[in-house]
Structure 1
Amino acid sequence: MGAGEFRVVPYARGRHGDGPWRVVARVFEEYGFPFAEADYDADVLWPERHYREGWFLVAEAADGEVVGCVGLSDEGGGEFELHRLYVLPGARGKGLGERLTREVIGLARAAGARRLVLFSDVAFEHAHRLYERCGFRRNRFRYAPDPWRSREWGFVLEFEEER
């Protein structure tokens, strides 16, 4: 199954329920990361409360199972942030992560972004290569604002102004 065999659609509570939460929880389990249903991780349990309508996307398998997700937020001043790009192990290696990333790049561009930033745990090396393929450059290191102070790389994609 290639990336084209998955549907990428805006999250809808009635259709997708806790699918994004299950995806992120599974990936965190795979990497041995802590995960909490409330507080810091609540955005993937309740995307409609944390993201502008249409700015949290899910990837569905043919049977409707949520196998991936990604979000976008407007941070002000022309800066947007990509959040929560996760794909289940069985759906990886098929171009789906890149497809989700490029969808968010398109949403940010359409909303007038000057730059798109993201932060990614240092352990997600495969994702870092994906971001660089999509035009992001690594620009900083930080300790995340999560309860366990994860180590993260920051990435930025600058958009040229249209004339």
Structure 2
Amino acid sequence: MSVSIVQEQELPLCLAVIRESFATVAAAFGLTEQNCPTHTSFMKLEQLQKHFEWGWKMFGLWEDGRLVGFYALSDEGAGRFELHNLAVLPDYRHLGCGKRLLDDAKSRVTALGGEKITIGIIEEHTVLKNWYMRNGFVPTGTRKFDHLPFTAGFLEWNKSI
């Protein structure tokens, strides 16, 4: 397996991985296009294209020519990057793919001179939250948004800790 920079023509492949990966989360938490239209499982190609045009750095995890994982980074300034849409296809979970992607993100942020990575998740998704915490992230707070049927949880990884 190898991680590489996503090219613009690969965005439809990335979208398929994102949507399939996040569909399991939507199902587990009862999210639908009606009650949570902005959830990642319902992302449209235009949105991913917009993020690409904004300069988000996007990376894919490939195995035998098949895209099986994805993540994006946005530079938020002052050495802080936000991690977006870390996704692993369901058939490739529990094989170290997520950790490989997360470790790649940490390395790339460090190489870019970054100090911190932030991420937002579904706070009630305790399995995911605990996974991020086992991988060096610490919770920094929560927030309830009127347009979301869950609490947003925020975590941060700091290079110097």
Contact 1:140–1:154 at 8 Å: present in 2 too? yes
Say which is worse superposed, 78-87 or 122-131, in terms of deviation. 122-131
Q: Calculate the TM-score normalised by the size of structure 2.
A: 0.78
Q: Is the partner of 1:157 in helix, strand or coil?
A: strand
- Against the structure 1 CA distance between its residues 18 and 150, is the aligned structure 2 distance closer, same or farther, given a 3 Å change threshold? farther
The residue identity in structure 1 corresponding to 2:151 is: R
* The one of 12, 19, 32 aligned to 1:25: 19
Deviation at 1:38, TM superposition (A): 5.9
The residue type paired with residue 58 of structure 1 is G
1:54-69 map, 5 Å: 55-62=57-64, 64-69=65-70
Aligned residue number for residue 48 of structure 1: 52
Count, aligned residues: 148
- TM-score, normalised to structure 1, is 0.77
**Residues 42-70 of structure 1: CA deviation (Å, up to 9, x unaligned):** 12x56532434xx21111121x2221101
Partner of 1:129: 130
Give the Å deviation of 1:17: 3.9
Q: Does the 8 Å contact 1:115/1:159 carry over to 2?
A: yes
Tell me which amino acid in the other structure corresponds to 1:91. Y
For structure 2, which runs of at least 5 residues remain unmatched after alignment?
A: 34-41
Closer, same or farther: CA 148–36 of 1 in aligned 2, 3 Å: farther
Deviates more, 1:107-116 or 1:124-133: 124-133
For structure 1, the 5+ residue unaligned runs are 1-5
Change (3 A) 1:80 1:149: farther
